[in-house]
Amino acid sequence: MTIGARLRRREDHRLVRGAGCYVGDLRVAGCLDAVFVRSDLAHGDLRQVDLEAARATPGVVAAWSSADLPFLPDTPPMMDPESVRGRPWPPLATDRVRYVGQPVAVVVGDDRYVAEDGRDAARVRIDALPVLLDPAEAADSPVRLFAGAGNVASEKTFGEPIDEAVWQQATVVVEATYRQQLLAHTYLETRAILVRPEPGGGLTVWVSHQAPHRLRRDLAGGFGLREENVRVIVPDVGGAFGGKSETWPEYLAVVAAARRLNRPVRWLEDRAEALTGPPHGRGQNQRVRLAADADGRMLAYELHIDADVGGYPHTGAFVPMATSMMATGAYTIPQVSVRSRAVVTNTAPTSPYRGAGRPEAASAIERTVDLLAHRLGLDPAEVRRRNFIGPDAFPYDTPTGFTYDSGDYAAALDVALREVDYSGWRSEQARRRREGGVPLGIGLCTYVERSGAGEEFGAVEACPDGTFVALSGCCSTGQGHETSFPQVVADVLGIEPERVRLVERDTAVVPSGIGSFASRSMQTGGAALHRAAGKLIEAARQRMAETCAVPVGEVTYDAGVLAAAGRSMTLAELAGTGQLRADNTFAPPEGFPFGAYAAVVEVEPELGEVTVLRLVAVDDYGVVVNPLIVDGQGYGSTVQGLGQALYEDVRYDPDGRPLTRSLLDYLIPTLSEVPALRFAETRTPNPNTPLGAKGAGEAGCIGAPPAIVNAVADALALDARDALQMPLTPYTCWSAAR
- What CATH number is attached to the domain comprising 211? 3.90.1170.50
Q: Is the peptide bond before 727 cis (omega within 30 degrees of 0)?
A: yes
Residues 458 and 444 both lie in one domain: no
The contacts of residue 107 (CB under 8 Å, 6+ apart) are 34, 35, 36, 37, 51, 54, 60, 62, 63, 115, 116, 118, 119, 122
Residues 550 and 611 both lie in one domain: no
Residue 26 forms part of a structural domain: yes
Residues 612 and 577 both lie in one domain: no
Residue 720 has pLDDT above 90, yes or no: no
Q: Considering 571, 586, 601, which residue would you say is the last residue of a domain?
A: 586
Residue 453 has pLDDT above 90, yes or no: no
Q: Considering 520, 551, 586, which residue would you say is the last residue of a domain?
A: 586
Residues 573 and 602 both lie in one domain: no
The contacts of residue 341 (CB under 8 Å, 6+ apart) are 135, 139, 152, 154, 155, 305, 306, 307, 320
pLDDT of 738 reads: 83
What burial class does residue 559 get, using C-beta atoms within 10 Å of its C-beta: 0-12 exposed, 13-18 middle, 19+ buried?
exposed
SS (H, E, C) 625-669: CCHHHHHHHHHHHHHHHHHHHHCCCCCECCCCCECCCCCCCCCCC
Residue 64 forms part of a structural domain: yes
Residue 624 has pLDDT above 90, yes or no: yes
The CATH number linked to 634 is 3.30.365.10
Residue 345 forms part of a structural domain: no
Residues 416 and 457 both lie in one domain: no
Give me the helix-helix angle, 730-737 and 699-716, nearest 10°.
40
Mean pLDDT value of segment 627-656: 97
* 1 — pLDDT class (breaks 50, 70, 90): confident
Beta-carbon count within 10 A of 727 CB: 18
Residues 378 and 400 both lie in one domain: yes
Residue 310 forms part of a structural domain: no
- Give the domain range for residue 511: 453-586
Mean pLDDT value of segment 669-696: 94
Residues 482 and 410 both lie in one domain: no
Residues 522 and 436 both lie in one domain: no
pTM of the model: 0.96
Residue 206 has pLDDT above 90, yes or no: yes
pLDDT of 683 reads: 96
* Whether 569 contacts 562, CB under 8 Å: yes
**Model confidence over 364-407: pLDDT tens digits?**
999 999 999 999 999 999 999 999 999 999 999 999 999 999 99
Residue 180 forms part of a structural domain: no
CA atoms within 13 A on the CB side of 381: 21
* 721 — pLDDT class (breaks 50, 70, 90): confident
* 80 — pLDDT class (breaks 50, 70, 90): confident
Residue 495 forms part of a structural domain: yes
Residue 392's alpha-carbon distances to 224, 297, 396, 406, 415, in angstroms, are 53, 19, 9, 9, 19
Q: Considering 553, 586, 619, which residue would you say is the last residue of a domain?
A: 586
Residues 578 and 628 both lie in one domain: no
Count of domains for the chain: 3
Q: How far is CA 278 from the centre of its chain?
A: 14
Residue 197's alpha-carbon distances to 62, 258, 360, 509, in angstroms, are 17, 6, 42, 19
pLDDT of 584 reads: 96
Residue 227 forms part of a structural domain: yes
**Model confidence over 502-539: pLDDT tens digits?**
999 999 999 999 999 999 999 999 999 999 999 999 99
Residue 121 forms part of a structural domain: yes
Residues 469 and 422 both lie in one domain: no
pLDDT of 300 reads: 98
Residues 114 and 257 both lie in one domain: yes
pLDDT of 143 reads: 97
Percent pLDDT > 70 in the chain is: 100
CA 279 – CA 183 distance, rounded (Å): 9
Residues 442 and 465 both lie in one domain: no
pLDDT of 371 reads: 97
Mean pLDDT value of segment 124-145: 97
pLDDT of 308 reads: 98
pLDDT of 148 reads: 86
* 79 — pLDDT class (breaks 50, 70, 90): confident
